[in-house]
Structure 1
Amino acid sequence: MRTIKNKPEILAPAGTLEKLKVAINYGADAVYIGGEAYGLRSRAGNFSFDQMKQGVAYANAHHAKIYVAANIVAHEGDVAGAGAFFRKLRDIGISAVIVSDPSLIEIAITQAPGLPVHLSTQASTTNYAALNFWQQVGLERVVLAREVGIAEIKEMRRHTNVQLEAFIHGAMCIGYSGRCVLSNHLSLRDANRGGCAQNCRWKYDLFEMPHPGVKQSQLKNGEAFSMSAVDLAMIQHIPDLVEAGVNSFKIEGRMKSIHYVSTVANVYRQAVDSYCADPDHYVLKPEWVDELWKVAQREMSTGFYYGTPTADDELFGKRRKRPHYSFVGEVLGYDEQRHLAIIQQRNNFGVGDQIEFYGPHFTHSQQKVTRLWDRDNDILYRAPDAMMICKVPVTHPVKAGDMIRKQRV
């Protein structure tokens, strides 16, 4: 039986220490985070050095890795203190730093020797000559441009042995490899220095103004124009990615919830493990695809992997498919004697709601909430208060760390 020896890494996002632990618990081999400087997600829950230490300790205990994104496009003065920052990452035990700006790459290599450097997708690497150049500079991995197709990745792999990382799931930026200037000009927030206002997600219209104060839309179908791309989902094409030689499967979403991180990491863990264990008899399971739709914010497509995206890969008109679940809580413990789940609430739920428990290794169970108590055993009908502790009788055993969704009516 043929197996895949070099199993691709599942690389998940984490905007907080909680999300980091959830990602690892739900199957991620590695997690990428941001520090308090040099990153492109200023609004994400970026990590202090102390939080990084805690994250590295947790990752080490679970045989996982932590990467730090320091991928800004640096202006004058932006690189001050970068050498000390990178040395601190190295000494904490960070597995690699993800960089796009050549000045920061040089600083990381020369002033923090021993800290592996990965090239960010922001650098728009689209050919093997560029890959070999970056390898000669001293980088061990390149995050490919999102505009690269499967056929191009295969050609790259034939001509280079540098590690290849590619996005497989999550939001896609309308700017080439994420290098956008819309936010700079429309919101005075530099997207390439961590301040993206996501102007591409706004609705736009085209107007004629025949008279002062008179505004007439020129869009005949009445649908406002958008530059908003659908999301990427490569769950149906895991064999192509593996056989093309991608070393790391990257999931987008450092600002997403633990519901998203746990679900997406869980699904791709199952798919990658299944394919690598027996590629000749691999079967895509419909429940994997269905699971991803439970956390989808937009429609999904394969991006540039199989050709140039069309209008179908943009968000126009009514959504073609909507998620039908909302995240309502996390299991803190399980009372085996009374068959009770102790839950930390994250969204309003109560008696009569249809809920679903899910956990690592793709465990699932569904039931209706028949009774509900607070932590003091007082009867409840709803659990409306954020982060409150409550108890629910369950029909199947659950474990601490399992998540709970509520089916929308």
Structure 2
Amino acid sequence: MTHPAVAMELLAPAGTMAAFEAALEAGADAVYVGAPGLNARALARDFTFAEIAAMVAHAHERKKKLYVAMNSLVKESEIPLALETLSVLAGIGPDALIIQDLGLLYLVQRFFPGLAVHASTLTTVNHAMAAHYFKELGFERVVLARELSLEEIGAIHRQGAVELEMFIHGAMCFSYSGLCRFSSLHGGKSSLRGQCVQPCRRRYDWLPSGKRACPGQGGQSGKGSKGGGYLFSMNDLCGIEHLAGARDAGVVSLKIEGRLRSVAYVRNTVRAYRLALDALDASPDRRTGMLAEAHRLLDASMGRKRAAGFLLAGQEERLIVPRLSGSTGEVVGKVIRVETPKGRKGDRAAQAQVVLQAPLRLGDRLRLYEERSGDRISFTLHDLAIKGKRAERAEAGQTVTVGLAGIESGRLRQPFHGILFRVDVSGRDDKKHSTLARTAARLAVPLPASADLERLLAELYAEPAADRQAGEGRRSGHGGQVGHGTGGRGRSASPEWWLKVGTPEAMALRYPFKVARVLVELSRRTWEWGMLAMRRKPEQRPLVWTLPAVLGHGQLSWYRDAIGQLRRQGAQCFQIAHIGQLGLFAETDGPAADGGRLELYGDYSCNVLNSAALRLYAARGLAGVQFSLETDRATLAAALAGFSRPLSAPGARPMQVGLTVHGRPPLFTARLDAPHFQGQRSFASPRGERFYLDRRDEAVYAHAHTVFSLLPHADELARLGVDYLVVDVSHGQPKKNAAELTALLSGRGELPPYFSGNYAGILS
């Protein structure tokens, strides 16, 4: 097999100036850093524009590259900040922006076309059709989903010309990046906005089979829960043994994760991969020594247990070790007991007895990890004793007493079950010693004038909501029959009610609202009864065939054929879950059998959080799109106000905006069906929250037993201008779901347990 002509780029992370310098010194070809306030890592301190400018200049002087990750979802209130940031970056000239929000793509192409853009891994590109579509959207490079094998990556390369970047080392999420809502809907901290509280790293208990509740039953997990562990805590990805395979697969850039990691981690990891890359073309006798040194450097980087991720099909059982916590750092020892102070407050500090697995000395920075709750408490070791006598250091195998001065007793639950880690904090304070940092301090990077920003905002909000050029949607690859919906109403105080069902029985039930459309997820399971429902043609309830959030390469052919058959049977309406799925409609054979125009809608998994993203979807010819399920009230209201503009074309219909207001949305959407999931479906958190797994062919989903519902806010959503409200009853018992809906809409009687995500609060 021939190798690509261009050598693979080694791309390193940097969260500090010192890490940036260490990455280049260790052999990185390029470095990526976060844009101030708009990157998907909640860094303790963002880079300033002056620091980014200094790093760009420093990298370019050395024939290296600097990419800026502006990969957070952007709320409507942050559009002015986004425009300001893009304006400054356009002047600085990084080699590319890494983005996930298609609203940012719209702003770049509208106002700053000189900026190159790369699609973040948060865009969940996992097959060639999506990669091709992202090239058509204007992306020069795609950062592939981390759930792909080398064989699948090679297939994507062979079918498209867009540059491919892959993660080769670092943390792995259990859910597909871009499809995790656990941290947001159960905590208000969105992983798509860099605020993830890492629920996948927590300990969970399986519920006994006799206590396996049906969806819709709330309450506590019940006594008697057993088994479990760190069920979803993924080992770190390590692809150092598979660089030749990545090169053969056509990858142009190998990305190391870790903008939150220390300088030592960056230096060791980059140096390890530089050695391994150089070893590819070294003589056999040199290659062995170079790889041995590379592994030694990785062992010193204080990461998690390592595995090859999804790179090699058939080895997925190695990706999670449920008994391991998945915390970063070096395991120092097992905590066997914690003693909290008694008597007058402040008499003495809390202490922990620890059986050491590694040496320990005064001054070490440590992290105490509580296995059941997932709580992490960091502290510096100032008090160490062996058999009651103070000591400066201790060795592996000894039992020691560690002082926990400064840690509140309330944070040390009893009995305590935990592990002690040593944490690498090298290079935290880099400014005092960095020449580059001093250079940045002398730079003055001008911000755009207020008048210029106001002009850009005025131009943005003055644009019509429909395509600025007639026919733009028809050029986007879905053929010439894309329409904006025969039922389009513009803004109205009376939104339509759409019902998503999972069984034919649910279609026949009575609901406390008039159902305008019925959504059915297209699968082999729903094919037969869905086709039967179409033949009956219930005029009052036209079907909208919906696509799952994740489609693998091997499933595309079936879905393309199924969509073609549905069109020939008269189907008009489909809902995509990912913008790359528009490629499935590029080769449909003209209009439906009854001559109807194709109507395409977008699901909430399209992650729309601002009016610029709404405009992009409108320009792509969609009849409607659902707003992000993570939204708060203020963001939804502002985006709808920013998008609600008159159309330039007489008689044209605006793209509709919908919102899912009831259901059990997936919190995790994952590829891994781990061996320890077998026979186990319901699980509970230490706080008594109950969840269940839905294991399907295309993905494994985790849902809450408690229903998500915005039904008590339905009148307000109508006043805000939401065009259609989606009620999802595809999970649980149909009759119970109908009764639940009636209670929540009426507000009378005993209401079922429910949660409303971020709507009534503030999305972080």
Equivalent position of 1:40 in the other structure: 40
Seen in structure 2, the aligned counterparts of structure 1 residues 347 and 269 have a Cα distance that, compared at 3 Å, is farther
Equivalent position of 1:162 in the other structure: 162
Query: Which of the pair has more CA radius of gyration?
Result: 2
Which of 217, 220, 230 does residue 235 from structure 2 map onto?
A: 230
Distance 2:104 2:4 in 1: 36
8 Å contact from structure 2 (residues 359, 393) kept in 1? no
Which of 225, 247, 267 does residue 218 from structure 1 map onto?
A: 225
Distance 2:107 2:314 in 1: 36
- The offset of 1:189, in angstroms, is 1.0
Summarize the alignment of residues 283-302 of structure 1 with structure 2, pairs less than 5 Å apart.
Answer: 283=288, 285-302=291-308
Distance 2:95 2:293 in 1: 33
Seen in structure 2, the aligned counterparts of structure 1 residues 352 and 37 have a Cα distance that, compared at 3 Å, is closer
Post-superposition CA distance 1:130-183 (Å, at most 9, x none):
222221222111100111111111111112221110000000011212532111
TM-score, structure 2 normalization: 0.40
Equivalent position of 2:24 in the other structure: 24
Equivalent position of 1:172 in the other structure: 172
Equivalent position of 2:67 in the other structure: 67
Post-superposition CA distance 1:233-282 (Å, at most 9, x none):
00011110111111000000000000100000001111112214679996
Distance 1:304 1:3 in 2: 22
Distance 1:213 1:33 in 2: 43
- The offset of 1:185, in angstroms, is 2.8
Summarize the alignment of residues 5-404 of structure 1 with structure 2, pairs less than 5 Å apart.
Answer: 5-206=5-206, 216-220=223-227, 224-276=229-281, 283=288, 285-307=291-313, 310-318=316-324
Distance 2:245 2:94 in 1: 30
- The offset of 1:298, in angstroms, is 1.5
Moved more, 74-83 or 101-110: 74-83
Distance 2:147 2:134 in 1: 19
8 Å contact from structure 2 (residues 183, 190) kept in 1? yes
Seen in structure 2, the aligned counterparts of structure 1 residues 280 and 148 have a Cα distance that, compared at 3 Å, is farther
What is the Cα-based RMSD across aligned positions, in Å?
3.6
Post-superposition CA distance 1:362-406 (Å, at most 9, x none):
xxxxxxxxxxxxxxxxxxxxxxxx99xxxxxxxxxxxx9xxxxxx
8 Å contact from structure 2 (residues 117, 139) kept in 1? yes
Q: What is the one-letter code of the residue matched to 1:158?
A: R
Equivalent position of 1:375 in the other structure: none
Secondary structure of the corresponding residue to residue 103 of structure 2: helix
- The offset of 1:77, in angstroms, is 3.2
8 Å contact from structure 1 (residues 171, 231) kept in 2? yes
Which ranges of structure 1 fall in alignment gaps of 5 or more residues?
A: 330-345, 355-385, 388-399, 401-409
Seen in structure 2, the aligned counterparts of structure 1 residues 105 and 205 have a Cα distance that, compared at 3 Å, is same
8 Å contact from structure 1 (residues 204, 225) kept in 2? yes
- The offset of 1:288, in angstroms, is 1.5
Post-superposition CA distance 1:208-246 (Å, at most 9, x none):
899x999634224xx534321000000011110111111
Distance 2:163 2:32 in 1: 16
- The offset of 1:347, in angstroms, is 10
8 Å contact from structure 1 (residues 9, 249) kept in 2? yes
Q: What is the one-letter code of the residue matched to 1:315?
A: V
Q: What is the one-letter code of the residue matched to 2:225?
A: Q
8 Å contact from structure 1 (residues 299, 319) kept in 2? no
Post-superposition CA distance 1:266-317 (Å, at most 9, x none):
0111111221467999657223223212214221111111126644311322
Distance 1:11 1:317 in 2: 32
TM-score, structure 1 normalization: 0.72
Distance 2:102 2:84 in 1: 17
Distance 2:224 2:174 in 1: 24
Distance 1:125 1:214 in 2: 36
Seen in structure 2, the aligned counterparts of structure 1 residues 161 and 281 have a Cα distance that, compared at 3 Å, is farther
Equivalent position of 1:358 in the other structure: none
Distance 2:6 2:323 in 1: 43
Which ranges of structure 2 fall in alignment gaps of 5 or more residues?
A: 212-218, 332-357, 365-379, 383-391, 396-425, 428-434, 436-764
Q: What is the one-letter code of the residue matched to 1:253?
A: G
- The offset of 1:112, in angstroms, is 1.2
Seen in structure 2, the aligned counterparts of structure 1 residues 130 and 215 have a Cα distance that, compared at 3 Å, is closer
8 Å contact from structure 2 (residues 201, 230) kept in 1? no
- The offset of 1:84, in angstroms, is 3.1
Distance 2:312 2:156 in 1: 16
Seen in structure 2, the aligned counterparts of structure 1 residues 171 and 248 have a Cα distance that, compared at 3 Å, is same
8 Å contact from structure 2 (residues 172, 237) kept in 1? yes
Distance 1:241 1:165 in 2: 10
Report the count of equivalent residues.
336
Q: What is the one-letter code of the residue matched to 1:92?
A: I
8 Å contact from structure 1 (residues 13, 251) kept in 2? yes
Secondary structure of the corresponding residue to residue 7 of structure 1: coil
Secondary structure of the corresponding residue to residue 77 of structure 1: helix
Distance 2:8 2:237 in 1: 18
- The offset of 1:3, in angstroms, is 8.4
Distance 1:32 1:83 in 2: 20
- The offset of 1:71, in angstroms, is 1.2
Post-superposition CA distance 1:74-110 (Å, at most 9, x none):
3433433423322311211211100111111121222
Q: What is the one-letter code of the residue matched to 1:258?
A: V
Seen in structure 2, the aligned counterparts of structure 1 residues 61 and 159 have a Cα distance that, compared at 3 Å, is same
- The offset of 1:5, in angstroms, is 4.1
Distance 2:359 2:140 in 1: 40
